[in-house]
Structure 1
Amino acid sequence: MSTAHWLFGDQLGPHFLTPGADGPDPDATVVIIEARSVLRRRRFHRAKAHLVLSAMRHRAAELGDRVRYIRCETYREGLLRAVGDGPLTVHHPTSHAALRFVRSLGTVTVLPARGYLTPLADFRAWADGHGGGHLRQEDFYRWVRRGHDLLMDGDTPAGGRWNHDHDNREPPPRGTRSLGAPAPYRPREDHIDEEVRHDLDRWEHEGLVSFVGRDGPRRFPASRREALAALRRFIGYRLAGFGPHEDAMLSHDPVMSHSLLSSSLNLGLLHPAECVERAEDAWRSGHAPVNSVEGFVRQIAGWREYVWQLYWYFGDDYRHADALRHRAPLPDWFLDLDADAVTARCLATTLAQVRDTGWTHHIPRLMLLGSYGLQRGWDPRALTDWFHRCFVDGYDWVMLPNVVGMSQYADGGRMTTKPYTSGGAYINRMSDFCGACAYRPADRVGERACPYTAGYWAFLHRHRSRLEHNQRMAQAVRGLDRLGDLDEVLRQDRERGHAPP
């Protein structure tokens, strides 16, 4: 009798069932457990709950008689119903809490993680060899490129440079509402989505769960077939224009040329190798320029892979990092995605995008949502939880390093060399938000003072003793001495408190 194999809801691609030395029994019965307690523990975005349940149910439909699909209250109840006290295998889960749980079950064998480019043990050896304290993504990225012969010409990087950021940080063209990129792939809902929506409506009506955000037509793939279609659409029609404006923001074009593949990768519907290899093929065949391809490869083989590895390397205590001692609670308007309460056009537009879709691209996440929380001194753990709950691609492993390390600098620089925050000048340069805004990006005080500009200087003042010794921040900190209105900036910042900007 074969050992059953458990698929978590983010392990839905075929590579999680490929047999081998570190894989499940080829004849194993597959167990998928839909535990409603997961939705009770947090107030998730409704569109995220829909996507995850739809993806799980689509996978079960694909597997047919091979799967035992259990709907229940808890994982423990589901396992008892599925296999009793029989043996079970599962690939390494994607969160510390899930790993602790499966290790507490005496009949479960944990197989190595799948769905990533680098084994955890290999990264640990690399990180330990680099001192382990202040690791840098660029060093890791080059190591991965060499190890996987990815975008390489022999021993040199394709195109002559490792990093094409210089070509990939252009502001949006002035006077345009859209980049005009071909539309991204959008799935069509089916009877499974109808069933999911009915169940979520019923659970919410009965008071069993509570959500934030809106659940419009599903925008992201929920099956392997849909994910592959989205990948083909991006590589064939959108990748070529991706690079130059990947850091830009447009109020009427939130998607621009971005791939929208993060949720498919994080559900396990796509493998990162197939994404970066197809992108490289597009460059080598002359269908996409090297800067766009390198920018996309960097996002997946560089940043996504790096975040996954740091999550495990830093350990579960990393979530308690609080080098800046930021303890302020998140305000209700932010928790409720109340974009209509916000005056600042950039933040209101971004919050509305999250409310309506559960997604924005990386720059609004970092330089609008995260930067505002950093300037206001919000609790990094609470902000990590918010990002986890409110984004369709949000998981603990994704958000913990991205928010605690990259966005909130709560680790004091273990992950990045500086805090990522700015005044209104950056937002004005990289977006079209400021022209129609009630605030002026250059104003620090007064009725039209940009909350990001005032907040930036208040943040530097609050952490001056720490940041003046940071090589990348020292010049900005010295700028405090040239502000004749600093006292007024600080007074206004205090008065704003938790009120919507």
Structure 2
Amino acid sequence: MKTLIPILGDQLSPALSSLRGQRQASAVVLMMEVADETRYVRHHQQKIAYILSAMRHHAAALRAAGWTVDYVTLDDPANSGSFTGEIARAVERHAPDRIVVTEAGEWRVAAMLEAWETLFGIPVEVRPDTRFVATHAEFDEWAEGQSDLTMEWFYREMRRKTGLLMDGSEPAGGRWNFDKDNRKPAKADLLMPRPLAFGPDAITQEVLALVAVRFGDHPGSLDGFDHAVTAADAERQAAVFFRDALPQFGDYEDAMLTGERHLWHSILSPYINSGLLDPLDLCRRAEAEYRAGRAPLNSVEGYVRQIIGWREYMRGIYWREGPDYVERNFLDHHRPLPGFYWTGETDMHCMAQALGQTLATAHAHHIQRLMVTGNFALLIGADPKQVHLWYLEVYIDAYEWVELPNTLGMSQFGDGGLVGTKPYVSSGAYIDRMSDYCRHCRYDVKQRVGPDACPFNALYWDFIARHQDKLGDNRRMAMPYRNWAKQTPETQAAIRAQAAAFLATLDEAEPADY
């Protein structure tokens, strides 16, 4: 029996469920670079280059392991441009008796897989993606038993299931969550750990040339492309993180510094989400660092929570809520994103840092995303669907199943509190506390009104005022509303006028030409 095994661009794992138990002699692995997947949003140039290069390197690794790989490149003149079209051509070439594929990560692609059996008239087996801790059924069962879907309770279940950071039936250190210990600002440090940089090999250079020609009008630049594109190099970066950065990751995971793109972050999310690294293996190795006394518990717990907590939780929310989740807009926000989201050109130093880094490298860490670019978008009332599409475009680790709930739900409060119990908004004070950005800014973070006032300040209070009908009863917003009520009518009017004047400048600006 001949088996066709399609492997998608985020399934670059040697232990993929669709490969298990297959006889190499009667199997053909199909890998496809298709136009539909490179252009359904305007992906950052480095994101496209990373995925295509990682796919080509993975195909070489599979061949070296004894698999027959049928690889369709993007510039193949016969390329149909779609997954389904390439399956049709592969069925003609190989006449398989069946298709075996690991489930897709996104609704859009899952719908394609479901249609293949009818379209091609041969059995199609869609196997679960066993790279995740929680199955869809397990998440749904957990969710059905909850009065609210707070991530913390799900995270504790994942700790119990995996045994990670557990001492018997109790959490290591007597606490489940050490987040309160992980909010320290950082200072510039010449001994700060640096991630590895990987020079493009011949395969990557070929991909970079292809992307430059075909996608040169997409956001970002290919200059300085230095991402790992093989499992071996991704593993080298993981080893550097565990040795050099994990010990202080927890303390400074929310910190931001001018000119510092990485600080103590792992820079492993692209490799996890595309399949080059095993997320559960990374968690177990982080735990081993704690057990050996080489990394403190707050750092290790914070890292583990990001993977078996937030990452798994976001996947569960995405699949449970369904394709219409993307249309939710609880706060009725419709303002377009300002053009500087695609250029990085703004006088707000915090935004220029986060956006400039994003456009240069296709990466920014979670606080830059949540409390700078996301915070600003929420404060100005940007359309949450457009914000989601921007995040999906520009970040190298962004796949819809993980990015959409993070952006529309947590960052933009578009789901009305399903993911986040409160909107993640702040004035400039938070950014000042967690970074050195404000020291280098032309605006004054201490001022709320006037030509030099930090825009975040008036925008924050304007957000509070205009959404009181929807957020006034939120217990986690009680303090901001009490503080707003203490302001005199004259002060309130001045702050809102300042916000309105700033928003007017956004409305009058030229739209992005990208």
Q: Does the alignment pair 1:130 with 2:150?
A: no
Larger mean CA deviation between 398-407 and 479-488 belongs to 479-488
Are residue 89 (structure 1) and residue 96 (structure 2) matched?
A: no
Query: For 1:59-458, what aligned pairs fall within 5 Å after superposition?
Result: 59-64=58-63, 66-71=68-73, 72=79, 73-84=81-92, 86=96, 87-106=98-117, 107=122, 108-131=124-147, 134-173=148-187, 177-178=188-189, 180-204=191-215, 210-334=217-341, 336=342, 338-340=343-345, 342-458=346-462
* Distance in structure 1 (CA, Å) of the matches to 2:317 and 2:190: 34
Query: For each residue in 1:83-104, what CA deviation from the matched residue of structure 2 results, as whole angstroms up to 9, or x when unmatched?
Result: 2363211111010000001101
CA distance in 1, matches of 2:454, 2:116: 53
CA 1:179/1:104 → structure 2, altered by over 3 Å: closer, same or farther? Answer: farther
CA shift at 1:40, angstroms? 2.7
Change (3 A) 1:478 1:238: same
Quick check: 2:234–2:276 contact (8 Å CA) kept in 1? Answer: yes
Q: Secondary structure at the match of 2:438?
A: coil
The alpha-carbon distance between structure 1 residues 120 and 25, as it changes in their structure 2 partners (threshold 3 A), is farther
Moved more, 159-168 or 278-287: 159-168
Please state if 1:483 is matched with 2:497.
Answer: no
Give per-residue Cα distances to partners, 1:383-412, cap 9 Å, x unaligned: 101100100001111111001110011111
Describe the SS at the equivalent of 2:462.
helix
What's the offset of the Cα at 1:26?
5.2
Structure 2 length-normalised TM? 0.91
Which amino acid in 2 is paired with 1:496? F
Q: Percent identity?
A: 38
Amino acid at match of 1:275: L
Partners of 2:493 and 2:274 in 1: how far apart?
49
Give the stretch that moved more between structures: 107-116 or 472-481.
107-116
CA contact (8 A) 2:17 2:127 kept: no
1:486 Cα offset (Å): 1.7
Q: Distance in 2 between matches of 1:147 and 1:308?
A: 17
Q: What secondary structure is seen at the aligned counterpart in 1 of 2:100?
A: strand
SS at match of 1:159: helix
Matched position secondary structure for 2:125: strand
Q: Structure 1 residues 138 and 259, CA, compared in 2 at 3 Å: closer, same or farther? A: same
- 1:57 maps to which residue? 56
Counterpart of 2:383, as a letter, is: D
Residue 405 of structure 1 aligns to a residue in which SS?
Answer: helix
Counterpart of 2:500 in structure 1: which amino acid?
A: R
Unaligned runs of 5+ in 2: 74-78, 510-514
Distance 1:315 1:15 in 2: 28
Give the CA deviation at 1:442: 2.1
CA apart distance, 1:474: 1.3
Q: Deviation at 1:492?
A: 2.3
The Cα offsets for residues 411-442 of structure 1, whole Å up to 9 and x where unpaired, read as: 11111110001001111111000112111112
TM-superposed deviation, 1:478: 2.0
Q: Report deviation, 1:76.
A: 2.3
Q: What is the aligned partner in structure 1 of residue 44 from structure 2?
A: 45
C-alpha distance after superposition, 1:359-385 (max 9, x if no partner)? 010001000011100011111111101
Q: State how many pairs are aligned.
A: 487
Partner of 2:405, secondary structure, is helix
CA distance in 1, matches of 2:190, 2:312: 29
Query: Structure 1 residues 179, 142: closer, same or farther in 2, change over 3 A?
Result: farther
Q: 1:294 to 1:204 in 2, by over 3 A?
A: closer
Contact 2:16 2:129 in 1 (8 A): no
Q: Is the 8 A contact 2:6 2:30 kept in 1?
A: yes
For the aligned residue pairs, the C-alpha RMSD in angstroms reads 1.7
Map of 1:9 onto structure 2: 9
